Amino acid sequence: MAATDFDALLAAARAVRERAHAPYSRFKVGAALLDELGRVHAGCNVENAAYPQGLCAEAGAIAALVAAGGTRVVAAAVVGVGPRLTTPCGGCRQKLREFARDDLPIAIGDAQHELARFTLGELLPHNFGPEHLA
Ligand code: THU
């Protein structure tokens, strides 16, 4: 299989980040996911006047992947605002776990650069997944 193009994934995350609806936090996030067919699915955070109803970028990207018929997340990219790393929140780490395992690579970027790369296993050690229920 071809090497994952993390630059392309980060570019997709940057592009969708522009469309984020984040009038309350003013913290825009974009996420892009590569599925098992090599397709890229993007999502941005969508906040709500009833604050807890807001959605993370990763959740939107996962919904797009599933809606397109994807079943696996092969690689992920998340772009926020530097200098701190916009790593997926705890809830989104678990959401990603539903469609990936410990070896999922997650690139974290800002407007210009890839800042770091983690695996899901690093971000969510000793995780609980679908196999536990099989
Ligand atoms: N946010 C994401 O969309 N993804 C992350 O990985 C971290 C946080 C959003 C949620 C909220 O709209 C804003 O960033 C500030 O927390």
The domains of the chain are located at 6-125
Determine if ligand 1 sits within 6 Å of the CB of residue 89: yes
The residues, ordered by sequence, that sit 6+ positions from 50 with a Cβ below 8 Å of its Cβ are none
Atom from ligand 1 closest to the CA of residue 24 = 12
How high is the pLDDT of residue 106?
Answer: 98
Question: If you compute the radius of gyration of the chain from its CA atoms, what whole number of angstroms results?
Answer: 14
pTM given for the model: 0.97
Residue 2: the pLDDT is: 67
pLDDT of residue 3: 85
- pLDDT digit string (tens) for the chain, length 134 residues: 468 899 999 999 999 999 999 999 999 999 999 999 999 999 999 999 999 999 999 999 999 999 999 999 999 999 999 889 999 999 999 999 999 999 999 999 999 999 999 999 999 999 999 999 99
Range 6-125: architecture per CATH: 3-Layer(aba) Sandwich (3.40)
Q: Is 122 a catalytic residue?
A: no
